Structure formats: C-alpha cells, structure tokens
Structure 1
Amino acid sequence: MSVRKRKWATASGEAREAWIVDYSDHEGDRCIKTFAKKRDADAFAAIATVEISQGIHTPASKTITVAEAGEDWIKTAEANHLERTTIDEYRRHLDLHIVPRLGRTKLADLSVPMVRAFEDALLADKRSQSLVRKIRVSLGSIIADAQERGHVSRNVVRELRSRRKRGKEKRAERRQKGKLRVGADIPAPTEIRALIEATEEGQFQALFLVGIFVGLRASELRGLRWEDVDLKKRELHVVQRANIHGDIGSPKSEAGHRTVPITPKLAAVLTKWKLASKKSDLGVVFSTRTGAVLDHANLMQRSWWPLQLKAGVTKPVLDESGRPKCDEDGRPMVQAKYSGLHCWRHFFASWCINRVADGGLELPAKVVQARLGHSSITVTMDTYGHLFPGGDDSERLADAEGKLWGQG
C-alpha cells in the first residue's frame, strides 16, 4: 500500500494536486482512492491495512450507495413480514430524510463526521430530537443490513453511538418534552365530567368511556372484540389491536396482553351498546357501518374534536405571532383542546395514580404498569412517576432539624 502525491494541470493550465492511496484489496484487485489532504490519506491507509488483513475491507468501487442499500433494507423488512406501519415509517425516513442528503454517497465513503453533519442538518431543519434519533437508528439499520450483504465493512453509525454517554440523548429528549401536565396533556377531572355529560348514547360514547376508564391504546380500542369483553365478570381482555391501516395483529408487546377490570356503569353502557350495535364480521366492538375497523383519523375529526367543542373543552386559535384569532364578527376562535386520542390513556393513568381523597384509585406503581400494559416499570415511572403523590414530611423535617440544633 502506497500513499503518494499527484500533481497535474487542468486544460486551462491551472495547477492541481491530490494524495493518492494505491493498494490491493484482500481479493488482490488494485484500488485507488484520492484525498485532498495527506492526513486523510494516511488515516484511510492505516484503517484499510487493518481491514484488508482481517478480510473485511470493501473498496468504494465495489460498494453501493446509501439509497441502494436503503432499498435493500426495505426489502428485508418486507421479507421479515414486519408490520405495515413499521415499514411505512422506514420508508418515510428513507425517502424524506436519508436519500435527499446521503442517497448518492457510497457506503464505504460514509464517515462518523458525515453522520454527525447529517444529524445537525436535520436539527437545523427543526426536526425534533426524537425524530432525529429514529432516523439515525434507521440509517444504522441500513448499514447493518448492507454489512450482512458484504457491501461495507464498517457501520459508522454504531461508532458514533459508542462515543456517546448511554441514556444521555433520552434524558435530553425528556427535558425537551417536559413532564405531562394535567390540563395541558392530561384532561382534568372537571373536563372529563363535562365530556361525559356531553356525549350521546351510541358507539362513540361507549368507545370514549372504555378509553378513559380502561386506558386502552387507540389501536387496542379499534381492535377490541366482543368475545374479549366479559360483562358478567366485568373485565376486559386485551389480546389484539388494529393498526392505522386496519390490519389486526397482536398487542405491542408481551405485556400488552392483559386483563383490566371495568366499572359497573361502563359495563352497563357496553351492555346497552351490544344490544344496539350491528354484528361485525370481525367481531369487533366498534366498527363502521360496513363492519370494518374504525379509521383513526375519522374518529378524531368526526367525533373527538366535535365532542370537545360541544363540552367547552377548548383552547384559542392562535395566529403566527401567537395571539388569539377572531372570526369576522370579532368573536374569539377556539378549537378542540386535545388533538389525539392518547390523552384518554393519560387520564386513565392519572386516575389510577391519584389519591382516593382526590377521586383517584391510588394504585401501586406495579399495578398501574400492568393495567397500562407497559413492558417495564421504567416506562411507567418515566412517563407518570411525577404524578404519584408524595408524602408531606415538613413536620418530621422540622422535628429532626430541632434535634440537630439541640432543641429536641
């Protein structure tokens, strides 16, 4: 392997120079790689020498681009029969973020600084820390898939990750998001009462009540079957869910398979709905007029948001400068306060956690974890730990302080 300087002149007579690394790979084929600086050429030569001796070096001329590797990665995901929603997310990461910035780059030319610059560019485009992390994970998976196919020897994303403190990014994300707040992320009990009073008998009333008193995920609500609802024992079994495409599948994790008790009034509402509802071929509790799985977006736009407007659970519509907007008659414009359905699950969690004196159930953390179907207690405590009531130890603190001061 040799590193040498090459000089030449352009057609216009302009002098140029570059550093050439001339070597043979582990298959005996001659390879040449050009660098603008000698230090970069020397660094590449040192790494290539070790890789060639280990039989893992892949010259840039024999590798493929990031875009081509991305397509192979998608095919692998499809061959492994991953969920459509997962493959759709992979496709968005690839087409919207990875290919536009790195698509033409050869895998062998990728470096840790390039990946870091890629992350910085995403953050500069106002992408959230959480999204950037997911996109980087997808890029790492693309390279890992290409490694298995023999297209590249190193996974620079893994090298980037190894240099970072474990858990540092997740802590930064949590700081950025902040803790869930009642009245902002979690409907307050007064708002829930107003919403319950505003609901009319029928499918959405039953769906809404199951959401706030059982805490199912939106996908679990939409995939719930009558055979999994035991009205006599007043309990509900979570054994399946429906993804955003309406495909039926297993819960998110093993812990997602669970049994949750239901309240007497909710059991009465479900009994009435069962008698009034049309039988679905899928056997689901909540369905369209044709018996299909309910569409998530339609639930929000046609039922959830109008219910909030009816119940007065609203927030002002703001203009670009953050000031409240008014309609043509000068009246303040309002919109539904809670955009998604996940706030129902947040309320259920807070209801389980709150003290009995405050209208809650005051359940232990492990019970809350089981009812929510979280994979670990860490997930429960990271999300809702701040809601658990803390003891008032002011009197004990004062007493202990007095003893230290010699007053006890």
Structure 2
Amino acid sequence: MTDAYQDGEMINRSARNSGLIVLARFISDFGAFLNMVALSTYVYILSQSVMHVSIFLACRVTGGILASVFGVPFFRRFTGRLSLVSFDVIRAALLAMLLIFPSSVQLYILPFIALGIGIGNSMFAIGLNSQLPWWVDESRRVATNAWLTSASATGAVTGSMVSGILLAASGYELVFVTNILTYLLAGLCILPLRFLITPAANELKSQRKEWSNLVKGLRVAPLMAGMLLVTMADTLGSAAHNVGFPIISELLTSGSPGKTMGLLLAVWASGKFAGARAANYVLLKRGIKTERLFFYGVALMSLGFIFTFQQHGVPLALVFIFIAGIGDGLADVSLISRIQSENESLRLPIFSLMTLLQMTGFGVGMLIVAPFYIWLTPALVIIIFHGIPLVTLTIVWLYSRKWQPSH
C-alpha cells in the first residue's frame, strides 16, 4: 500500500513538474523574444547607428558563449530550482536598469545588459534541459520535450508580435515593465519544482577534466557526436535564413514586407509546433530511434527553407516554410531527448557544448552570410548555406551506417 502510494505520488509530482517546466519555458521564451525585438530597435533609436545595434547583438551572443563555458562548473555546484530562479531575477534586474537610469546613460549600459541577458537566457536553458531527467520520469520525458519545443516556438512568435503591439500602443517603458514581469513569472513557475530523486553530490572537476571526459564519451557514441556536428553546420543555415527573411519578404511583397515577414514567422512556428507533436507520436508510438528522427528533421528543415527562398509568391512560400518548421520541431525534440538519455556525467557537458556550438556558429554565420546577399541572389545564398548541413548530414549518415554492425 505504501509503495503504491509512493509510486502514485511520484507520477503526480512528475506530471506537475512537467506542466510547470513547460509553462516556465513558454514565459521565458516569450520574454526573450519580447526584449530581443524591443531592445534591438531601442538601441537604434538611441544611437541612430547600425554599428551600435551590431555591438548589442554581438554582446548578447557573447553572453551565450560565456554561459556554455561556465555552465558546467556552475550547475555541478548549484543544482536545483533556485539556481534557475536566480537567472530569472538577474534578467529582470538588468531590464529594471532601463527604468532607473536616464536615456543619456542607457546607451552605454545596454551592451552590458545584452551580455547579462545572453548569459541568463543560455544558463536557464542549459540548467533546465540538463536537470529535466531529475524532475520528470522517463516515460513522460519525450512528451515533455515535445511540449517544450512547442512552447518555445509559440513563445517566440507571440513575444515578437506582442512586442510590436505594445511598442505601437504605449512605447518602450511598458514593454520593459511587461518583460520584467515575464521573467519574474517564469521564476515563480520554477519555484514549486521538486526532484523525483535527490541527485547525488557532484564531484567538482576542472574544466579540462570535464571536456576530456566529454571527448572520451563522444568517441564511444559516434552518432551523438555526429548529431552535434550536424547541429553546428545547421547554425550556418539558420544564420542565412534569419538574415534573409527581410530580403525575401521585400521580394515577395514590396508593399508590406513587415507583414509578410510576420506571416512567414508565424507559419514557421506553427510548423514547429506540429513537428514537435509529431515527434512525440513517432518516438513513443512508432519506436523510431531519436538519431534517425533527428537526421530526417534536419533534412526536412533545410530542404523546406531552400524551397521557401525559391518562391515568387507568398502562398507556396508559406507551404514550404511550414514544412521547414515541421523539420525544426522533429530535430529539436529528438536532439534534446537523445542528450537527456546520456548518463548524468555527460548530459550537462553535452548541453553546454551544444549551446557553445549554436551560439558561436550563429554569431560567426551572421558575419559570413551578410556579404553573400550582396554578391548573390537570396535563393542561391540559401542553397549554399542550407546545403552545408545537408552535406554534413549525408557524411555522418554514411559514416554511421559503416560504423554500425550489420544485422
């Protein structure tokens, strides 16, 4: 009777934790995109300089890179919900500085705010993803990851849309106040979380030892290493289509490019939502391997974006960007679920490495891609940069078939 009660309590706690984590992720990503849109335009209004906007965005990316480096020792020492809540409070406090300091000072502190928010966003994601197996039981984990991806996509679009509406209606102060509240609400969602099983105390290792163990672990898991390599290659494709969205929107509808870009992003997010739900079904019901689904997802995503940028009309562009979103959702859920299946000693370093690859690749990719749009047509640029993950994917796939024993 006692065992049955304890099992029931564990199931209820896991379900409650899962719901709170998904809600926290939605609110956190909503806030992240709310301030990304608002702060980028705010920096430009204050400075009237594209260079200042570039510095601001570079500081934000740098924050993500720093988080990927220091995330491992931090979460080895500070586990649990309070470490995540602290990053919500820090992000809220940084934004509060814009309500306290006069506009004449704000231009000089905005790069530091961007750096802090970049660190906070990435540390929150690393800590949440790496510790999720301690909060959610294995049977519910894939479903939770699917809902996390769905919540992230929904938060991205609604955050961008609400930011624009609030800016048009009331100005920047209301956006900053709303953003502060979102981070505090995300922290409140994290506070009730309770571990299913209290994790054992971690042995603190040097950074060199952590990364050495990671390299050894990836050597015996070549498919996992291949997934990370494809993820790094995919950041170049992501940089290309993010830079290209305003350009393709202008080409599709020169009269209202902003409206078209918003529509493209909304349909992409809808596709990502559908892809996340589909990943939940095929991984749990069909028993397809996470590695295989990841490769299918990346291929579908890159091909979807390639065909999107070949279109001359909005309807077909929306069809293909929806397909790209489905691939994104499939790849995202399968990658995170695969990493979470690793043992605890490797799970945190892999999430940190993934963040490092994504932030570095995206930052470098934005710098590399921009000149190509001057030299070549958008359709050709996307073929080149989304062709890179497709080629990498093919090489990894062929290698994996050679490595796997025949049956």
TM-score range, shorter-chain basis? under 0.3
Larger Rg: 1
Q: Normalising to structure 1: TM-score of the pair?
A: 0.23
Larger relative contact order (Cα-Cα within 8 Å, sequence gap ≥ 6): 2
Q: Normalising to structure 2: TM-score of the pair?
A: 0.23
Select the structure that is richer in strand. Answer: 1
